């Protein structure tokens, strides 16, 4: 049996060596080949390379170091089915932290989480993770704790106490790593066990590990005495021994701190700044191996290709290969800087980073004519979950398509079973709001489970049903009327019963919501069923349960709300079941009952940390996370998100981490791991290295620094330039504009290019009214409301009817609070209602308003009613004087005006009187509207007297029906219809909301007209359509002022009688 260490600077050569050794070993066809790696991405890549070398890859078992150790432990005859893991240990510690013994002994620690079980669980999780590290990095301490189970003195004695008590609870059923390691080593001394191991695992290959611990090295060393163990390790500088070298920076710090003058030999230990500065992890790993002469003697330097010096990237790789110090490195020229082998871009936002990357990849193919396939490109990002939506948006909609896959994306990010479950579990009785619940229906799983086809009708129904928050609400504060149970009842009553008759249910009044019929009714019934099941599921959380019972609850949630578990062929569902099996394994260990909040904290954390790594190197461009030991050779390697605060990551130190008391070589160090990752990435780029970071603040344009590693790379390039006058940072880093349509992409700049669409911002259509209509409009039939609407706001009518543009968008999100005050439309409607209501009807009006959501709750409703009643009191007297005791009538109109049928209904008719009430201070458009309705009534052969009531002036204006004949009314309407048609061919320059009398308009000058427009736009409540046209330069066109005067004279002239009466002209 043998031990061998193969080293090379090329993973491809290491993969080739591995393939040849597997062929040489000639294992039985049913004998798996054990290959130890650290990432799924490495597994996928290795399969492809091995298949390319030997023709086929089969029965290769890829395992991680810990998994291999556990498997060997089981194969050597262990009766234990499960090793101690942090997931299990955290729950044991959670129980121990609540014990009276611990709280009495360690009061200072217990004070942190007293009366807060979530904090207790968080502490238990952190301690469990530390215990897992202690087993690997400080095994002697754990062995001491296992052997000496007494004495818990000292500030950190509480950790030993928890470990000892946890081991007492678990007994021998779940051994820790030190026990497993010791058991393996002792078993390997027995001939029978050696024979058994050789038969099952004749050889082991460890591939591409750059981070390894003494714990694993010791076990591999003992295994090598029995079976073949071969390490295939990446060594950036295989031709030299660089593992004890120091960088210039480290030597400078040493000089500064040392009181002894350094010897020349010490100064010669300086190596390549990038290799030494970023390769600390590799130095520690190889130093760990070479502490033993046996490992050192078995090291073999296999074929290691020397990088060329043709490009900037290759020169840097060559420097690292030879471990060249500053004085011996390759000289760089200005041509090297522009060869494109290394590109550094600074962007404003994450979205722009992805857009600029896309442009770069297209540019490689377009301008440089590179023979690249999508498989040749890998993009590594600092936060894959943050970048994934932008990657999908840009690459799916781009004009030139690249196939791509996203690896390492969290299970809870995309639309799948896990994200649906996370949404359901995050919902609680406290945040059971309308929008929170409706967002559950964004999940395709949930919609499919309840056969819900769309959410537009449902959103409308929830809003109209006045569903705001809370499952039940209270009668005392009237929040019952904004609750889900009341709203669902209103929806269901509305489906089953016609009309709006009130019903007394459970001691309060409810009003059916008649909003749907036919197939729409079934959609609302399905939604109501969903809401009731969801409410039942939420209410079921009030009971405490054991961990395993909560696992069963999760299965019920899945079955009832998300996925029909009879169809158990869903991959995500199977993965979820495997996670739940881990919970069920705790049944004999943790029997205490816990609240849902505690369980949710743990379970949601485990859900969000699950990622999809199988997609790495599975086809197309690979987007993945920045993970050490993931830097596989690609022709194009891109790094996104290398911001100063994102990379390298900063370790969050724990004050009670006992490893911090005595740091050792090989201890976990996130910052050093990321430096090593950057070094690996630099070496794995075969042709191009692309780096991107957010270099400008999108709000205030301030400069933001890149990752310190980018700075170090740029400094390294700068130091290698022959011409020291070159300002590298200003020329090497390209800052891209905030937007992809910037005019900067149109100037002749070789570093700025855009393939994502037309970026020409110089061509601009200044006036929207000149745009072509979507389709010719027919005027065979025109409604009265549309007819009047054009004269009230011609700009809005043109945008809505011709351009099909509407700016009055409904709220995207449903409101989550009850009404506190009425908006303008609600206030207007209430005043209209109260003008025609009797005092004895106000109580019923108030109760219905509260129950249906048109009035605030409780005392606010009474105040609103009282204040409104006072404000309309004078106006109500005028209405009473006009109509007396007459009841309201309406008239249906179908009026032929040439080829057009004017159709609609006239309301507010009282005993031969047409009543029109204006509550606005801008009355011109309402005067016009009232008179047009007056003309329609006369033209329809039903002459009515017009009573126009002005709330602002507190006055009634009367026009007798005898003032116009049917013939003149028809003539006036025909003229107005012609203007109506013209207003759909181009924007009609007429705007009654300027609120100028016909005489004032006639006397206007063009300068005063422009002042009038600008003053209106500065006022509150300006018209968005007018503002849009003003911004497009519509009012700067020649003749606009003259058109305004001519159109105003013509249109107001048809209602001259009423305007003269209003403005006091005879």
Please compute the mean of the pLDDT values over residues 551-580 and round it to a whole number.
84
Predicted confidence (pLDDT) at residue 611 exceeds the cutoff of 50: yes
% of the chain with per-residue pLDDT over 90 = 60
- Sign of the C-alpha dihedral computed for residues 271, 273, 278 and 280 taken in this order: positive
Please compute the mean of the pLDDT values over residues 707-725 and round it to a whole number.
89
pLDDT at 763: 38
User: Closest by alpha carbon to 1057, among 988, 959, 951?
Assistant: 959
3-state secondary structure of 404: strand
DSSP 669: -
Predicted confidence (pLDDT) at residue 840 exceeds the cutoff of 50: yes
Pick the residue with more confidence: 173 or 275? 275
Q: What is the pLDDT of residues 283-309, one digit of tens each?
A: 888 888 888 788 878 888 887 889 999
Predicted confidence (pLDDT) at residue 464 exceeds the cutoff of 50: yes
Residue pair 562/421 in contact (Cβ under 8 Å)? The answer is yes
Q: Kindly give, in sequence order, each residue whose CB lies less than 8 Å from that of residue 1026, ignoring residues fewer than 6 positions away.
A: 795, 991, 1013, 1016, 1017
pLDDT at 969: 95
DSSP string, 161-210: HHHHHHHHHHTTSS--HHHHHHHHHHHTTSHHHHHHHHHH-SEEEEES--
DSSP 798: I
DSSP string, 486-545: HHHHHHHHHHHS-S---EEETTEEE-------THHHHHHHHHHHHHHHHHHHHHGGGS-B
At residue 768 the predicted structure's pLDDT band, cuts being 50, 70 and 90, is very low
User: What's the length of the chain?
Assistant: 1066
Q: What is the pLDDT of residues 848-889, one digit of tens each?
A: 999 999 999 999 999 999 999 999 999 999 999 999 889 999
Q: What is the pLDDT of residues 377-388, one digit of tens each?
A: 999 999 998 999
User: Closest by alpha carbon to 418, among 574, 601, 572, 552?
Assistant: 572
pTM: 0.79
Look-up of token digits 């849009």: 1028
Residue pair 409/612 in contact (Cβ under 8 Å)? The answer is yes
pLDDT at 811: 66
pLDDT at 248: 56
Predicted confidence (pLDDT) at residue 38 exceeds the cutoff of 80: yes
Lowest mean pLDDT among 263-267, 690-694, 815-819: 263-267
Hey, how many other C-beta atoms are within 10 angstroms of the C-beta on 921? Answer: 10
Residue pair 648/674 in contact (Cβ under 8 Å)? The answer is yes
Q: What is the pLDDT of residues 140-189, one digit of tens each?
A: 999 999 999 888 887 789 999 999 999 998 888 889 999 999 999 999 99
Predicted confidence (pLDDT) at residue 268 exceeds the cutoff of 60: no
pLDDT at 389: 92
Mean pLDDT of all residues belonging to the chain: 88
pLDDT at 118: 92
Q: Are strands 33-36 and 203-207 parallel, antiparallel or unpaired?
A: parallel
Q: Which residues pair with 206 in a beta bridge?
A: 36, 231
% of the chain with per-residue pLDDT over 70 = 93
Predicted confidence (pLDDT) at residue 581 exceeds the cutoff of 90: no
Predicted confidence (pLDDT) at residue 400 exceeds the cutoff of 60: yes
CA dist 578 to 466, 572, 1060, Å? 42, 10, 83
Q: What is the pLDDT of residues 1014-1040, one digit of tens each?
A: 998 888 767 889 998 998 889 989 999
Determine the Cα–Cα distance for residues 630 and 384; give it in Å rounded to an integer. Answer: 14
Could you check whether the bond before residue 648 is cis, i.e. omega within 30 degrees of 0?
yes
Q: Which residues pair with 157 in a beta bridge?
A: none
Predicted confidence (pLDDT) at residue 761 exceeds the cutoff of 70: no
Q: What is the pLDDT of residues 127-141, one digit of tens each?
A: 999 999 999 999 999
Please compute the mean of the pLDDT values over residues 581-599 and round it to a whole number.
84
CA dist 28 to 4, 23, 24, 475, Å? 22, 11, 12, 76
Pick the residue with more confidence: 782 or 375? 782
Label residue 148 exposed, middle or buried (CB < 10 Å: 0-12, 13-18, 19+): exposed
Q: How many helices (H) and strands (E) does the chain have?
A: 45, 23
Predicted confidence (pLDDT) at residue 773 exceeds the cutoff of 50: no
Domains of the chain: 3-79+181-306 (3.40.50.10930), 86-171 (1.10.10.160), 340-408+614-746 (3.40.50.300), 417-590 (1.10.486.10)
Residue pair 403/621 in contact (Cβ under 8 Å)? The answer is yes
Pick the residue with more confidence: 904 or 757? 904
Hey, how many other C-beta atoms are within 10 angstroms of the C-beta on 371? Answer: 7
At residue 23 the predicted structure's pLDDT band, cuts being 50, 70 and 90, is confident
Residue pair 367/340 in contact (Cβ under 8 Å)? The answer is no
Alpha helices in 258-408 (DSSP H): 264-267, 273-278, 280-290, 293-297, 312-321, 334-337, 350-366, 384-397
Predicted confidence (pLDDT) at residue 534 exceeds the cutoff of 90: yes
């Amino acid at each position: 049996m043998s031990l061998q260490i193969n080293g090379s600077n090329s993973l491809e050569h290491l993969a080739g060596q591995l393939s040849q050794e597997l062929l040489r070993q000639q294992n039985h066809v049913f004998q798996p080949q054990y290959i130890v790696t650290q990432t799924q991405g490495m597994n996928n890549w290795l399969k492809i390379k091995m298949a390319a070398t030997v023709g086929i890859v089969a029965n290769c078992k890829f395992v991680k170091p810990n998994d291999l150790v556990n498997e060997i432990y089981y194969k050597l005859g262990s009766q234990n089915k499960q090793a101690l893991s942090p997931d299990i240990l955290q729950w044991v510690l959670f129980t121990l932290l609540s014990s009276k013994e611990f709280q009495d002994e360690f009061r200072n620690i217990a004070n942190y989480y007293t009366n807060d079980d979530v904090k207790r669980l968080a502490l238990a999780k952190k301690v469990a993770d530390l215990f897992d590290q202690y087993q690997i990095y400080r095994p002697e301490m754990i062995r001491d704790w296992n052997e000496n189970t007494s004495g818990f003195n000292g500030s950190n004695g509480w950790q030993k106490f928890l470990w000892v008590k946890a081991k007492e609870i678990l007994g021998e059923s779940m051994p820790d790593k030190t026990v497993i390691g010791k058991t393996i080593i002792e078993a390997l001394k027995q001939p029978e066990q050696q024979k058994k191991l050789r038969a099952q695992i004749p050889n082991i290959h460890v591939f591409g590990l750059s981070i390894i611990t003494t714990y694993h090295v010791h076990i591999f060393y003992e295994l090598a005495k029995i079976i073949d163990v071969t390490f295939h390790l990446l060594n950036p500088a295989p031709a030299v021994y660089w593992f004890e070298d120091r960088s210039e920076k480290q030597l400078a710090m040493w000089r500064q701190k040392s009181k002894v003058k350094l010897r020349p030999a010490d100064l010669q230990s300086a190596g390549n700044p990038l290799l030494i500065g970023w390769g600390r992890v590799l130095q520690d790993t190889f130093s760990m191996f070479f502490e033993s002469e046996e490992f050192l003697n078995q090291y073999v330097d296999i074929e290691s290709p020397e990088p060329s010096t043709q490009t900037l990237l290759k020169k840097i790789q060559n420097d690292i290969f030879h471990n060249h110090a500053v004085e011996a490195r390759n000289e760089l020229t200005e041509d090297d800087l522009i060869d494109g082998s290394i590109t550094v871009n600074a962007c404003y936002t994450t979205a722009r980073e992805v857009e600029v990357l896309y442009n770069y990849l297209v540019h490689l193919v377009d301008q440089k004519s590179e023979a690249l396939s999508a498989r040749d490109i890998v993009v590594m990002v600092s936060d894959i979950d943050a970048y994934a939506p932008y990657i999908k948006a840009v690459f799916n909609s781009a004009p030139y398509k690249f196939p791509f896959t996203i690896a390492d994306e969290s299970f809870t990010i995309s639309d799948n079973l896990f994200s649906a479950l996370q949404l359901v579990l995050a919902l609680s009785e406290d945040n059971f709001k309308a929008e929170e619940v409706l967002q559950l229906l964004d999940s395709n799983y949930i919609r499919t489970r309840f056969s819900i086809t769309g959410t537009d009708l449902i959103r409308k129904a929830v809003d109209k049903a006045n569903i705001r928050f809370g499952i039940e609400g209270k009668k005392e504060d009237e929040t019952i009327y904004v609750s889900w149970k009341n709203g669902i009842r209103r929806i269901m009553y509305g489906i089953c019963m016609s009309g709006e008759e009130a019903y007394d249910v459970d001691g309060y009044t409810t009003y059916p919501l008649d909003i749907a019929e036919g197939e729409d009714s079934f959609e609302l019934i399905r939604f109501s069923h969903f809401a009731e099941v969801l409410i039942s599921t939420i209410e079921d959380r009030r009971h405490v349960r054991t961990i395993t019972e909560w696992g069963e609850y999760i299965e019920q949630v899945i079955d009832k709300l998300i996925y029909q578990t009879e169809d158990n062929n869903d991959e995500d569902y199977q993965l979820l079941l495997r996670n739940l099996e881990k919970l069920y394994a705790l049944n004999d260990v943790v029997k205490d009952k816990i609240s849902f909040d505690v369980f949710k904290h743990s379970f949601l954390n485990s859900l969000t940390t699950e990622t999809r790594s199988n997609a790495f190197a599975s086809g197309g461009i690979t987007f993945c996370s920045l993970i050490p030991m993931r830097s596989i050779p690609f022709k194009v390697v891109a790094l996104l998100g290398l911001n100063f605060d994102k990379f390298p990551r900063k370790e969050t130190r724990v004050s009670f981490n006992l490893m911090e008391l005595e740091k050792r070589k090989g201890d976990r160090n996130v910052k050093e791991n990321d430096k090593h990752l950057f070094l690996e990435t630099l070496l794995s780029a075969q042709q191009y290295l692309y780096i991107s970071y957010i270099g400008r603040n999108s709000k205030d344009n301030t400069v933001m620094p890149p990752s310190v590693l980018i700075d170090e790379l740029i400094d390294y390039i700068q130091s290698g330039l022959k011409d020291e006058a070159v300002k590298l940072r200003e020329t090497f880093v390209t800052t891209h504009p905030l937007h992809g349509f910037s005019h900067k992409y149109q100037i002749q700049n070789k570093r700025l290019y855009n393939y994502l669409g037309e970026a020409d911002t110089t061509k601009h259509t200044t006036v929207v009214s000149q745009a072509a209509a979507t389709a010719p409009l027919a005027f065979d039939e025109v409604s009265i409301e549309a007819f009047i609407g054009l004269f009230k706001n011609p700009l809005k009518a043109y945008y809505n009817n011709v351009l099909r543009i509407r700016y009055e968008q409904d709220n995207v999100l449903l409101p989550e609070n009850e009404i506190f005050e009425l908006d303008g439309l609600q206030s207007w409607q209430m005043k209209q209602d109260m003008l025609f209501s009797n005092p004895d009807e106000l109580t019923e009006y108030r109760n219905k308003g509260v129950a249906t959501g048109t009035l605030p709750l409780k005392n606010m409703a009474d105040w609103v009613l009282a204040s409104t009643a006072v404000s309309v009191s004078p106006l109500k007297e005028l209405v009473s004087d006009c109509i007396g005791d007459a009841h309201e009538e309406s008239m249906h109109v179908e009026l032929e005006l040439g080829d057009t049928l004017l159709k609609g209904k006239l309301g507010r008719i009282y005993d031969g009187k047409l009543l029109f009430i204006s509550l606005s201070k801008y009355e011109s458009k309402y005067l016009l509207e009232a008179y047009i309705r007056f003309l329609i009534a006369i033209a329809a052969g039903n002459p009515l007297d017009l009573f126009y009531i002005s709330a602002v002036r507190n006055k009634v204006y009367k026009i007798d029906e005898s003032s116009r004949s049917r013939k003149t009314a028809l003539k006036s309407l025909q003229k107005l219809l012609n203007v109506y048609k013209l207003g759909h061919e181009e924007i009609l320059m007429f705007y009654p909301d300027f609120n100028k009398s016909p005489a004032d308009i006639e006397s206007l000058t063009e300068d005063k007209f422009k002042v009038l427009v600008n003053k209106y736009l500065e006022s509150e409540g300006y018209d968005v359509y007018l503002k849009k046209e003003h911004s497009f330069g519509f009012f700067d066109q020649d003749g606009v002022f003259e058109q305004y005067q001519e159109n105003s004279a013509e249109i107001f002239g048809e209602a001259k009688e009423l305007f003269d009466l209003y403005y006091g002209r005879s």
